[in-house]
Structure 1
Amino acid sequence: MTGASLWPRYAEPADLAAIEAVPLADRHLPESTYALLCRAAAWWPDRPATTVLPDAERWREPVRRTFAELLADVHRYANLLRELGIRRGDAVALMSPNCADLIPATLAAQLAGIAAPLNGGLSRDHLTELLRLSGARVLITAGPELAPDIWATARDLAPGLDAILVLRPTGAAGEPAALPAVDGVRVGYLADLAAGHDDAAFDGEPPAASELAALFHTGGTTGAPKLAAHTHANEVADAWMIAANSLLDVGSAVFAALPLFHVNALVVTLLAPLFKGQHAVWAGPLGYREPALYGQFWKIVAEHRIAAMSAVPTVYAVLAQCPVDADIASLRYAMVGASPLPAAVREGFQAHTGVTLVEGYGLTEATCASARSFPGDPRPGTVGQRLPYQRMKVVHPETGEELPRGETGVLAISGPTVIPGYVVGHDETGYVLDGLGKLRDGWLDTGDLARLDADGFVHLAGRAKDLIIRGGHNIDPAMIEDALLAHPEVTAAGAVGRPDEHSGEVPVAYVTLAPGATVTEDALLTWAAGHVPERAAAPKAVTVLDALPVTDVGKPYKLALRADATRRALAEALGPFDGVAVDTVIEDATVVAVVTVASEVDEPKVSATLARYTVPARLTTEGNP
């Protein structure tokens, strides 16, 4: 189906009402991600679908697939998975940096069963738990040539698996390395094992819209990992909402550099391009983390006529320093998200390239994207307008009552992209899903503080649990972060509460600086005092770090900052005692102080000092556990 019913005009905020005048059901979206791929292969069989770079230095030696070739490989890989016993309700784990074969492997996993992408950088305990939750018995993973560290992890995870299917680097030539035998586990290269399987059709029944397509892990670096369950309908709907962007025509090229265990990589740069026959150009296995990419970036944009890209602020800060040594007139949509965009980064990139940075917002539990901005109507300070057919409201953090426009509360989302739940177990019918307190009556509690303005644009104000409570007064950390980000030498900022014996906690801030910056911590403290609009919110300290901590899935990790602030506060309070060491650990999303005292120290006095703070603490004597 083509035409206005499928592709309405969607170029400015005022277009939203006309789009939603047509029910989503009348858009006749494909039933599944597989049906979406089949349609793309039927409409544009010979058009390039994916171009994958081996690495930045060899960007002129990519591996390309047309839409027809991509579908053929998906059929081969899915039929291999079916031979291995994978059925509709079975998960297939995928653990690899990006490479040419990971793309069809991911789509094949969604066709034969359910894709369960894993970040190979997670701890072994996390990975073991995610495999247990997913029930995956087949693992598609990077081999020794592609990522030796991930291959070593895969071998450690082998017990309990039925098969390990191995991926080679993009464009690998020659005979691959011999793979070691693993007792009771079938081990082989994916491409070799799939070579003899039918590439014209899938041997099983295709998935339905309501069936699960993927299990994406979400959460921080501590505590139990969670698996968010995406249906095919979730992913197809969100991909359509992204593809509906009128600025990106049929056949436009998009740049992909985020890892495929991230929802943005799957939905924005793999599924959405299938809707309009767009060409996805994928960076090498390190993506934006490959330093050499930046020296070649503008040449790659020019070569492939890249029209759109998405990245985090730090990427744009680096690109603003890279000489534009090619014709980049094709680039007209540069999306930024995941963390606050410093004004200096926005202005620097736009002045350097002439390309407007637009912010977006999304989360795994709403499939991927939920809000977008418009280059022709930039509104700095917002992350955009909600996407079509999604609903947003702001509710009181304690009562759950909806708040009027302009008031700050917790952002909630409903609509066709909200997941059915998290995997919490299995029964005779398959996965047991639960909202875990985040899903109520079809509404997702995002945990993000926000307000909606009169035009429905979203203004984020930090995480609800990141509120700083000073003497019973709630302080929004965003106002501190915004003030510091306004400094021309600050590239990132995070504000948290530091324990205080009088006020419960007081605000402190952590920042990173631009290369060559000369500003001092004291100068930043003075700057903040003059720019934070609320006197009580002015930070008591500003600490410069090389990088702000992030979670295993790349999101800002405030718990680590709170742990550092707690350690510093208690170490200062216990400074008069000789022989006392203070450390902190994070347990179940709570910062716990671990205080070790020498045997000669007056332990009751140390305990009395700790009791003045509302911080869970463990006191141990040196030499004793």
Structure 2
Amino acid sequence: MTDAGLWRSRLLTDVLDEVADRHPDRLAVVDYNSVTGAATRLSYLQLKHRADRIALGLIGLGIEPGDVVAFQLPNWWQFMALHLACLRIGAVSNPLMPIFRERELSFMLEFAQARLLVVPHRFRGFDYPAMLAGLRGKLPHLQRVLAVGDDGPDGFDRVLLETRWEDQFEADAEFARRRPDPNAVIQLLYTSGTTGQPKGAMHTSNTLMAGVRAYADGIGLTGEDVCFMASPLAHQTGFMYGLMMPLVLGTRVILQDVWDATRAWDTIQAERVSFSMGATPFLADLVNAPNAPAPADCRLRQFVCAGAPIPRVLVQTATEKLGLGVIAAWGMSECGVVTVTRPDDPPDAVFSSDGRALDGMAVRVVDTADQPVAPDTEGRLKTQGSCLFVGYLKRPEAYAVDAEGWFDTGDLARMDAAGYIRITGRAKDIIIRGGENIPVAEVEDLLYRHPAVQDAAVVAMPDARLGERACAFVSVKAGQSFDFDALTAWLSEAGMSRTYWPERLEIVPDMPRTASGKIQKFELRERAKGLGG
């Protein structure tokens, strides 16, 4: 990869330093915070100064190279600064979705042996420090929890920003000593679990930076573009293309922490945004918003859709109503975006494919003997290249990369003669709800533990806006009762994120089964097709 020029051995902090030196007053990030109601605008020099002080503060808290720093933050400037600070001193960033609750966090934090966790004091009415207080006994490796927006002794600002850490440490010497190798792990990102607990995908500066550059070049973005990101920065979508890419381009990003299409359009127009990316529901909401601008007035030039198929009518409406260029993409936490349509592709390519491979990446579709199939034939999708992750934390046996570097994605796809792929299904048992993977095995496991449940199976139910929703089929034990309220109360009590809860319950007398007794989920999926909206 290095010899081919795909791995350039540069860190994101190198980019930050260069832009801050050449253009110190250039705007780097605008953060619209729904809790405070205020917008924070930071130049490159201001972002660098804050990130560097936070980095020294992390040293002061005892964080060493290789230590895991977890942050469960919305799309706020603190998220960006924290990652840059971790990178500055060789710590590993572990972004966690704000929707995660006790069940997810108790596993993720302890599995990674996170030393420090940063959370909001409050976000969307939820008290994060209170939740963590109830978990600390289960997390022996977690030494400190800091809260953004807390004025107390564990407040993020008080501990990391209000202290002049530069008076205690020689910044240049500390940063030089702790600078990570470009092939060292710098990001740990959990994927949605399909057979139990989620896996922690590990990335390096080289894998992430290669993916960001290939993506920007592939769709023609430059430093003249202004980026808008409402997808969570704790997703690979938000992390690579909302946090990293604007810095690599030397431009600015506008962050929105709670999705609202009307507010989004106000922001997009006011900030002169030209690019955004998100799951298909984001685009559908923008198209249908009451304040959507006319094509002649629309600042937004490109929208990249990933995470769910793009309906033909949505592409047509976005083009006609907004004058917007829609791009289809496919990717994973393990490799970022791998395939995209190009801006000059015909509309048919956008709603009938998930694009072709970016420079530095390759895809192929194989049969059960691992041999490439003929064009337009369904098979297992494999990928290889410069932005492929380097392994799963403590799970070497799960690293499905063969001797030639091909990674088995677990997805089923077709590829045409021109190299455009179309995801046709998933070998792994997940549901993608508006771009968010639902770990079916975990939900089913919890349902089976309910005293009234005999059997449980969760399958995808089609939905016009979100692509899929989760439908739970349940058979009930004799003499017991179970309804939707009981289902939601049970999952809530277990501390499972609300996003993972099934949105429909179907009580069935018996489950359809194979001769060996295995539940026939394909039959349940067929039933669910008639239940969706």
TM-score normalised by structure 2 residue count: 0.77
Q: Secondary structure at the match of 2:264?
A: helix
Q: Secondary structure at the match of 2:213?
A: helix
Q: Higher RCO, 1 or 2 (CA under 8 Å, sep at least 6)?
A: 2
Q: Secondary structure at the match of 2:165?
A: coil
| 1:450 and 2:417 are equivalent in the alignment | no
Which stretch of structure 1 is more off in the superposition, 335-344 or 324-333? 324-333
1:461 corresponds to which residue? Answer: 424
1:372 is aligned, of 325, 328, 340, to 340
Q: Aligned AA for 1:50?
A: V
Is contact 1:119–1:261 with CA below 8 Å preserved after alignment?
yes
Q: Secondary structure at the match of 1:215?
A: strand
2:207 corresponds to which residue? Answer: 234
1:214 corresponds to which residue? Answer: 187
2:517 corresponds to which residue? Answer: 614
Shift of 1:612: 6.0
2:128 is aligned, of 147, 150, 159, to 150
Is contact 1:243–1:275 with CA below 8 Å preserved after alignment?
no
Aligned-partner Cα distance in 1 for 2:70–2:52? 18
Q: Aligned AA for 2:358?
A: L
1:406 is aligned, of 342, 362, 376, to 376
Q: CA distance change for structure 1 residues 191 and 65 in 2, over 3 Å: closer, same or farther?
A: farther
Q: Secondary structure at the match of 1:615?
A: coil
| 1:262 and 2:235 are equivalent in the alignment | yes
Identity %: 24
Q: CA distance change for structure 1 residues 278 and 389 in 2, over 3 Å: closer, same or farther?
A: same
Q: Aligned AA for 1:164?
A: V
Which stretch of structure 1 is more off in the superposition, 99-108 or 35-44? 35-44
What do the CA deviations read for 1:78-103 (whole angstroms, capped 9, x no partner)?
Answer: 11111212122110011122222222
Shift of 1:450: 1.0
Is contact 1:394–1:403 with CA below 8 Å preserved after alignment?
yes
1:114 is aligned, of 63, 79, 92, to 92
Q: Aligned AA for 2:100?
A: L
Q: Aligned AA for 1:217?
A: Y
Shift of 1:278: 1.3
Aligned-partner Cα distance in 2 for 1:153–1:144? 11
Is contact 1:33–1:235 with CA below 8 Å preserved after alignment?
no
2:526 corresponds to which residue? Answer: none
Is contact 2:305–2:328 with CA below 8 Å preserved after alignment?
yes
Q: Aligned AA for 2:22?
A: W
Which stretch of structure 1 is more off in the superposition, 295-304 or 408-417? 295-304
Q: CA distance change for structure 1 residues 72 and 382 in 2, over 3 Å: closer, same or farther?
A: same
Q: CA distance change for structure 1 residues 106 and 579 in 2, over 3 Å: closer, same or farther?
A: same
Which stretch of structure 1 is more off in the superposition, 154-163 or 95-104? 154-163
| 1:512 and 2:463 are equivalent in the alignment | yes
Shift of 1:328: 4.1
Shift of 1:167: 1.1
Q: Aligned AA for 1:339?
A: A
What do the CA deviations read for 1:464-491 (whole angstroms, capped 9, x no partner)?
Answer: 2469xxxxxxxxx99xxxxxxxxxxxxx
| 1:125 and 2:103 are equivalent in the alignment | yes
Q: Aligned AA for 1:438?
A: A
Point out the structure with max Rg over C-alpha.
1
Q: Secondary structure at the match of 2:288?
A: coil
Shift of 1:27: 6.3
Q: Note the residue ranges of structure 2 that are not aligned, 5 or more in a row.
A: 433-437, 441-458, 492-506, 521-533
Aligned-partner Cα distance in 2 for 1:445–1:197? 46
Shift of 1:359: 0.6
Q: Aligned AA for 1:311?
A: G
Aligned-partner Cα distance in 1 for 2:39–2:511? 65
Q: Secondary structure at the match of 1:320?
A: helix
Residues 270-281 of structure 1: pairs in structure 2 closer than 5 A:
270-281=243-254
2:325 corresponds to which residue? Answer: 356
Residues 83-102 of structure 1: pairs in structure 2 closer than 5 A:
83-102=60-79
2:117 corresponds to which residue? Answer: 139
Q: Note the residue ranges of structure 1 that are not aligned, 5 or more in a row.
A: 1-21, 169-175, 180-186, 425-432, 468-476, 479-493, 497-507, 515-545, 550-559, 587-595, 598-605, 618-625
Aligned-partner Cα distance in 2 for 1:407–1:513? 27
Q: Secondary structure at the match of 2:56?
A: helix
Q: Secondary structure at the match of 1:405?
A: coil
Q: Aligned AA for 2:517?
A: T
Is contact 1:299–1:325 with CA below 8 Å preserved after alignment?
no
Shift of 1:125: 2.9
Aligned-partner Cα distance in 2 for 1:513–1:339? 11
Aligned-partner Cα distance in 2 for 1:146–1:85? 31
Q: CA distance change for structure 1 residues 246 and 41 in 2, over 3 Å: closer, same or farther?
A: farther
1:26 corresponds to which residue? Answer: 5
1:171 corresponds to which residue? Answer: none
Aligned-partner Cα distance in 1 for 2:460–2:70? 39
1:71 is aligned, of 43, 48, 52, to 48
1:418 is aligned, of 388, 393, 418, to 388
Shift of 1:235: 0.9
Is contact 2:118–2:147 with CA below 8 Å preserved after alignment?
yes
Residues 285-304 of structure 1: pairs in structure 2 closer than 5 A:
285-286=257-258, 288=259, 293-304=260-271
Q: Aligned AA for 1:208?
A: D
Q: Aligned AA for 2:233?
A: L
Q: CA distance change for structure 1 residues 251 and 30 in 2, over 3 Å: closer, same or farther?
A: farther
Q: CA distance change for structure 1 residues 255 and 56 in 2, over 3 Å: closer, same or farther?
A: farther
Aligned-partner Cα distance in 2 for 1:139–1:401? 45
1:393 corresponds to which residue? Answer: 364
Residues 167-182 of structure 1: pairs in structure 2 closer than 5 A:
167-168=148-149, 177-178=151-152
Q: CA distance change for structure 1 residues 191 and 344 in 2, over 3 Å: closer, same or farther?
A: farther
Is contact 1:97–1:147 with CA below 8 Å preserved after alignment?
no
Aligned-partner Cα distance in 1 for 2:330–2:145? 35
Aligned-partner Cα distance in 1 for 2:183–2:479? 61
Is contact 1:77–1:190 with CA below 8 Å preserved after alignment?
no
1:335 corresponds to which residue? Answer: 304
Q: CA distance change for structure 1 residues 28 and 402 in 2, over 3 Å: closer, same or farther?
A: closer
Q: Aligned AA for 2:318?
A: F
Aligned-partner Cα distance in 1 for 2:480–2:223? 66
TM-score normalised by structure 1 residue count: 0.66
Give the aligned length. Answer: 463
Q: CA distance change for structure 1 residues 296 and 155 in 2, over 3 Å: closer, same or farther?
A: same
Which stretch of structure 1 is more off in the superposition, 240-249 or 64-73? 240-249
Shift of 1:148: 3.4
> Pairwise CA RMSD of aligned residues?
3.8
| 1:105 and 2:82 are equivalent in the alignment | yes
